[in-house]
């Protein structure tokens, strides 16, 4: 469930009556930004826009959602050149200026437009209009569950196969060893993972890579931590090549990488910082004193201790980040990089 009080919402208004509605939304969601046609003139605190499509395009990705108080046809024409991917597009909702209906238009599930439409309807006393098939048929939206559980959707095209199976009341095989998805699905819609078959949809929730039928939806839990050490001046390419090589050898998905960790002496290492940006994960650094608190690392190094004052970097950092006394992958050594992998525990 998305907390819209914490999200960035843009409200777009064409008419004075629409501004009355916008101000009611602003009272309920104080962080909302109001954009109104410059034809309305002064008197209300808002940012004026001159050409809706042009000015919307300039801030399209600056907001988690856009709420338009105007005819749906105007909105459709304005957003048509901007929408790209339902997993990344902001939520779009619109309503008539009388506040009778609030319509979820774009990114109903992952973007949260359906939830926003319900939220706004509650505040305005309006009727929410939701047209996504799973909602209409009152079955779980697997993409909403994945979003709420922080799962990376690896093959978005397979969402439709799972959704259609649910709509038809057909159970699908579910592999979910960490119990991240299955508690949110009715038991009648789940089968054992041994029943995966080419002609069926299914759900695979794991960081392990497996050869699966095309219709199986693959969801990656963000639960792997990469502890990394490196030589000064190492390139992002060298670091990434080693990381991907190790992940591939262990049959781990890089899409399950949660963060990179290292020693604070590497906090200014441009290759490491670039790697974190490239893989779109956070990077954290620990002091040598913190690393030395980790006992029983598999492969301590007196040479590393001599140079930086800690017996272990990659292994100790990975263990420290996860709070686990063991590693999935002990230290692997490349020409300019070391890497260890640990697992963040999930409590089911």
pLDDT tier at 211 (50, 70, 90 boundaries)?
Answer: very high
Average of per-residue pLDDT across 141-157: 94
Closest CA to 218 of 227, 230, 209, 231: 209
Alpha-carbon distance of 91 to 112, in angstroms, equals 6
Whether the pLDDT of residue 314 is over 60: the answer is yes
Map out the domains of the chain with their CATH numbers: 9-131 (3.40.50.11220), 142-221 (3.40.1390), 224-343 (3.30.420.180)
Alpha-carbon distance of 135 to 143, in angstroms, equals 12
Whether the pLDDT of residue 156 is over 80: the answer is yes
Closest CA to 125 of 153, 152, 95, 105: 95
pLDDT tier at 300 (50, 70, 90 boundaries)?
Answer: confident
Whether the pLDDT of residue 259 is over 70: the answer is yes
Closest CA to 13 of 32, 213, 256: 32
Q: Tell me, yes or no, if the pTM score tops 0.85.
A: yes
Q: Across the chain, what does the average pLDDT equal?
A: 93
What is the token pair recorded at 145? 């569950």
Alpha-carbon distance of 49 to 80, in angstroms, equals 18
Angle at Cα 165 formed by Cα 160 and Cα 168, nearest 5°? 125
Q: HSE of 27 in the Cβ direction (CA atoms, 13 Å)?
A: 8
Whether the pLDDT of residue 347 is over 70: the answer is no
Alpha-carbon distance of 174 to 216, in angstroms, equals 9
How confident is the model over 61-102, as pLDDT tens digits? 999 999 999 999 999 999 999 999 888 899 999 999 999 999
Alpha-carbon distance of 80 to 219, in angstroms, equals 29
């Amino acid at each position: 469930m998305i907390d819209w009080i914490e999200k960035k919402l843009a409200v777009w208004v064409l008419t004075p009556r629409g501004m009355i509605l916008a101000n009611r939304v602003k009272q309920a969601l104080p962080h909302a930004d109001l954009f109104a046609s410059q034809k309305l003139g002064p008197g209300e605190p808002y940012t004026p826009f001159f050409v809706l499509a042009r000015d919307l395009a300039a801030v399209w990705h600056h907001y988690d959602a856009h709420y338009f108080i105007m005819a749906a046809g105007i909105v459709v024409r304005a957003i048509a050149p901007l929408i790209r991917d339902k997993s990344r597009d902001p939520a779009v909702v619109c309503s008539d200026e009388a506040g009778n209906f609030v319509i979820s238009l774009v990114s109903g599930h992952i973007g949260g437009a359906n939830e926003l439409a319900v939220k706004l309807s509650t505040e305005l006393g309006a009727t929410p209009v939701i047209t996504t098939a799973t909602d209409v048929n009152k079955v779980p939206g697997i993409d909403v569950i994945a979003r709420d559980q922080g799962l990376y959707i690896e093959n978005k095209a397979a969402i439709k196969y799972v959704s259609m199976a649910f709509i038809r009341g057909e159970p699908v095989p579910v592999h979910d060893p960490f119990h991240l998805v299955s508690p949110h699905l009715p038991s009648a819609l789940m089968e054992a993972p041994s029943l995966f078959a080419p002609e069926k949809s299914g759900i695979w929730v794991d960081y392990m890579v497996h050869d699966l039928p095309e219709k199986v939806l693959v969801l990656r839990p963000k639960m792997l931590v990469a502890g990394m050490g490196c030589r000064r001046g190492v390139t992002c390419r060298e670091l990434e090549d080693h990381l991907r090589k190790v992940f591939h050898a262990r049959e781990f998905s890089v899409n399950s990488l949660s963060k990179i960790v290292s020693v604070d002496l590497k906090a200014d290492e441009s290759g490491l910082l670039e790697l974190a940006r490239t893989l779109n994960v956070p990077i954290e650094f620990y002091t040598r004193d913190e690393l030395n608190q980790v006992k029983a690392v598999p492969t301590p190094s007196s040479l590393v201790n001599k140079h930086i004052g800690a017996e272990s970097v990659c292994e100790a950092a990975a263990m420290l980040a996860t709070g686990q006394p063991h590693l999935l992958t002990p230290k692997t050594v490349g020409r300019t990089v070391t890497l260890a992998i640990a697992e963040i525990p999930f409590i089911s």
